[in-house]
Amino acid sequence: MHKYLDSKESSAELLRLMLPMMAQHPAAFHPVSYALWYEYVAGTNRLLMEGIDAALKAGETFNEEKVADLYVRFIAERDVADGMRMQVRLERIVADLAKTVAAAGIRTSDYNESLEQYGETLKKGVDVPALEALVKSLIEGTQTMHASSATLKGELKSSNHAIEELRAELARAKGEAHTDPLTGIRNRRGLEEVVEKVEADAEGTGLNGSCLIIVDIDHFKRCNDTYGHLFGDKVIRIVGQALASNVKGRDTAARIGGEEFAVFLPQTPLHGACALAETLRRAVEQGRIKRVETGEIVSKITVSLGVAAYESGETFENFMRRADHALYAAKAGGRNRVSVAEAAPESPAANKAKRAQNP
């Protein structure tokens, strides 16, 4: 993941410069669009600058499709290149270790064979999870050799340090890929990762016993139009903090869209999820946000929430869809309230309800 090194002051100035440019085009104000214009104004991405300048000169309109295309070509692919850079670094460490082991003249056939296998694997290209597995295996092998060979002690210590640094870098890259940069909580990909782990660790029970809360900021567009996008970002951060401070243990808060959030609650009964949703609603409603420019205190920020209990056998996509429908019901009911999803049409709970209505 690319690192941005601008100070808070300089990044604020870049934001001031780029917002008028973004406003001239139909693409929405979202993280992808922000990243595109931020790097253009900062002048740190030469290829992106050339691509945007060429499009502007040709009179092109930056709609969602155009913004996505430029982002993939000049930003996302660069991040892939960062992954390749880490792979090359690991290749170099493996090659240096192989030379050291061979020069030592010690019986290290098993370790040497492992290094050769790592080298062949890396030549084929691997993704970040595979790199993590290779790094872990290489650390274990290196530590074994370090303990058993006095001759290689210095060299292996240095190599082990380099590999540990690479592992830390991979961990940071993985964390950044699953974290929403504005709020610091998980993003949609991060939420999906948590759900997948719960499914895998549940020993056949899947997501049974889980609940999901979908949260949406009320009248967010009006808030942006009235107070500006910087204040809107502040509202999103405040809501994200409110969610993060009220989830415990295995529960996970995530920002899954512009002003939309989710709270995943494994092994939580519906009444517990509803109680938490009400706590979150009150926490946001009681919050006060000060506008930096005027000192005005804004106290009319509220959220609507939809709660769903997992129905055995349904997909996570359908689980989320039912929670989303409950959210729409909360919006339609006047906003700033909690609504509970109906059971899935073919679920045991729904069939039981039908039988009760039609004995």
Which of 39, 259, 311, 314 is labelled catalytic? Answer: 259
153-177 and 128-148 helices cross at what angle (nearest 10)? Answer: 160
Please give the single-letter amino acid code of residue 229. H
C-alpha 226/C-alpha 219 separation (Å) is 11
**350: enclosing H helix or E strand:** helix 348-357
Which of 258, 271, 260, 267 is CA-nearest to residue 331? 260
CA dihedral over 250, 267, 186, 84, signed as positive or negative: positive
**Phi, psi at residue 211, to the nearest 5°?**
-130, 160
204 phi-psi bin (left φ>0, alpha ψ -120 to 50, beta other): left
What is residue 174's three-state secondary structure?
Answer: helix
Query: Any catalytic annotation for residue 259?
Result: yes
Which DSSP letter does residue 203 get? T
Which of 81, 78, 93 is CA-nearest to residue 135? 93
Strand pairing class (303-309; 289-290): unpaired
- Other beta carbons within 10 Å of 217: 22
- Which residues are identified as catalytic? 259
